[in-house]
Chains A and B, each alone.
Chain A
Amino acid sequence: MARKLPAKDVVIIGLGWTGSIVAYELADAGLDVIAIERGPWRNAPTDYPPGYAPDELRYRIRHELFLRPEQTTFTFRNKMNQTALPIRTWGAFMPPNGVGGGGVHWNAETWRFLPSDFVLRTHLNERYGAGFLPEDMTIQDWGVTYEEIEPYYDRFEYLCGTCGQAGNLKGQIIEGGNPFEGPRSRPYPNPPQQQPFAATLFAKAARELGYKPFPQPSGNMSRAYQNPLGVRMGPCTFCGFCEWFGCGNHSKSSPQTTILPALIRKPNFSARDNCEVTRINLDASGKRATGVTFVDTGGNEWEQPADLVILSAYTIFNVQLLLLSGIGKPYDPSANSGVIGRNFTHQTISDVVSFFDPAKFTFNPFIASGAIGTCVDEFNGDNFDHGPHGFVGGGYMGQVQTNGRPIETTPVPPGTPRWGAQWKKAVKENYQSALKPGTGVHGSMYSYRDVYVDLDPTYKDRFGRPLARITMDFHDNEIKQNKFLTDKFAEIFQAMGAKQVHKEYRKAPYDVTKYQTTHLCGGAIMGTDPSTSAINRYLQSWDVPNLFVTGASGFPQNAGYNPTGTLGALAYWAADAIRNKYLKDPGQLINA
């Protein structure tokens, strides 16, 4: 029997990027806010001291900062006629755990989506005509436009101290930036990071091929920075232990280094760590959330009543909690009805590994940061004419030097034996002169009728709750897109003077053992029609108006960029709607 705690105005489920942002904004509006986080409290200086944080085995290989699959995991299958089996150890993506969420261990690649990404179906149908899209592709418009959320992108970037070169300032194209980006209202708060050798070679070769290369927008600081909340960050030292690791330098944008120190000082905010929300509770009508039930580490069950519930866990946990709480109609791919679980997507990535002459090239791959490097955006979204190619979507491509950590990044030429004297010799010869971009081809994944999340009929978590079941495979559209992009990307490395270029195309079937970003998206998507979306343009549940669902679970499909910039912007956008619209007149904000 759950013990009942004193009621709060707002309960936040999950204290990562979006939970921290909404918590700050609502506490700032004077509401009494509590955040409940499944994992432990984490703080930059105590949890990741530079003296032992750079431990590749502990953090990269043994997954120290992530959720333990024994706490909960997912089941997976490629096709609806297969039996899904549990993911026993993480592979394709890394579910976060603890305060800060994925913001602790990301690379801090901080992008905006293209204006056309937000009106994708309308845009593509207008440009290419109805019938160009595959029949089972279920992409949608978001219900919000780039112009509407631009101010919130700006707020997130100034919170983070994002380092970059503007390419489009209020419509004026700026040399050296990304000419394809949507208009931004002001420059990035900080200049780009200094570029390592390989990135400058990439930029030169890309320019010669007619592209417009630019430094990747990064949350690894190019200089000391104080954000609008008064929180200070220090310059990145290029330690090369960024993604999978926490930053003890206060040099990487994360909730810990940008917002939590300001949030925690608000007297009307508190957080509970090591407590897992198991259910969002509804009243008898089923149309109003009354709060949440959670379990502490001792197995005790507690009820936290609240007037407003913010669901801000990792993508697939948002979807799972909605399903387990009976909120919204579960998606049924056979009947093509229901909403919770539909339009689930990931990212279509691939890489090109290049081998240069060791006598002429020394890249020092370990001098690295999560987002340091140079990219081109000619083949992202609808930046090029897809008419002749027979696919839609695309991605950015970049020589992003994330690490030279030797367990992970010791590339050898194809054909080298996997062990023995020849392998050892090849590792030694190529370590300094091979390039294996930490981010290479970073392509979109669009949504399909048979890629979705529901509850598994067999496997359970430690509380006996059904695991979420992922049904996911690559479709031809993404495979064609990836081949086209990977070929284009490889041409740049040829032009840089590589003696051997190896293309690692992404191929079907989707493989849950191969890491391909943690950018799971969708499953509780935003939109304009309650029959095809779970939440409205303000991230408010269509079914339970005092519930808002933040994060990438709301993306109707995934674009060819990293999602954090967009989910941060949408969190500010939703918080603004709650402050300025919902609190004045609590109820459904959109009459659909």
Chain B
Amino acid sequence: MINRRKFLVSAAIWFAGTTSLTRASVIRDHMPWSPFPSSRPEFARPGPWQFFTSDEARAMEAIVDRIIPPDPETPGGKDAGCAVFIDRQLKGPYGSAGGLYKLGPFTKGTKEQGPQSPLTPAELYRKSLAALDKHCKAKAGGKSFDQLSAELQDDTLKKIEAGDIKFDGVDAQGFFSALLKDVPEGFFSDPIHGGNRDMAGWKMIGFPGIRYDYRDWITRHNERYPHPPVSIMGRADWSPHKA
């Protein structure tokens, strides 16, 4: 006969032994339910830089404002929060190549075989921004990228894009490719991720965000959809006290 103490001990061992199974479960009889099983969206909080140093951040804000320059109707990359977006992304799983296949050997292949670099996006940005700073200071009398004129900034970026400027120890064109992916993502992704501030990117093109239900408009052919965008966090004019 099993005594109470022995039972508790064996139950404790059983529970401890099965904690590793907590994510692997047996499902029967009914549809399982738990709140937010897929994890809630993460909210990129305002505040200080989380990944970039202040020097890096100055360069990034200048870069994103050349990739997407301001115009009289729509803010540029800087005011739309593209540098903040990239900062939060690099601090998160994207920056560390989370979930990607990272086992070696690392061999350079053909373009069709896809990226094979052991560098994470965070490392790529860190090394590239340092190399860019070094390049600018050497070429422009000690000035950093953000201190150059807009024309010189554009000229530098064009040369990187064309492969005419090379960085020491890191692929400058690879860095530029990352920018061409990450900056528009910051301009057009939901503001919950820190970019697209005030839904500026969406307002520019007329994308209504997550309105979800267009049954009233599907057959209104060739009529512009009239309603302003909504994000996962709602809209500023719905919650002015938080604005």
Contacts and interface: CB of A to CB of B under 8 A. Distances in A.
Contacts of B215: 235, 237-238
B71 A421 contact: yes
A389 B227 CA distance: 50
Interface string A504-528: 0000011111000000000000000
Given A78-B110, A82-B110, A404-B207, A272 B36 contact: no
A260 B28 CA distance: 11
B33 A237 contact: no
Contacts of A275: 24
B232 A55 contact: yes
A270 interface: yes
Nearest to A431: B205
Given A273-B24, A362-B224, A367-B225, A46 B35 contact: yes
B141 interface: no
Interface stretch (B53-61, B98-106, B128-136, B167-175): B98-106
Interface string B198-240: 0001101111111111110111011111000000100000000
B101 A420 contact: no
B41 interface: yes
A419 B68 contact: yes
A70 B99 contact: yes
A308 B34 CA distance: 33
A432 B67 CA distance: 22
A133 B41 CA distance: 52
Contact of A200 (B103, B185, B221): B221
Contact of A367 (B36, B74, B161, B218): B218
How many residues of A sit at the interface, in one of the four size bands?
35 or more
A425 B103 CA distance: 42
Interface residues of B, number: 79
B117 to A, nearest CB: 9
A56 B189 contact: yes
Nearest to A424: B68
Interface string B90-116: 000110000111110101011111111
A61 interface: yes
B114 A88 contact: yes
Contact of B112 (A52, A269, A512): A512
B47 interface: no
Given A271-B28, A296-B24, A458 B105 contact: yes
Interface of A: 40-43, 46-48, 50-52, 54-58, 61-64, 68-70, 73, 76-78, 82-89, 91, 194, 196-197, 200, 235, 237-241, 249, 260-261, 264-265, 267, 269-275, 296-300, 361-362, 364, 366-367, 404-407, 410, 418-421, 423-425, 427-428, 431-432, 458-460, 509-513
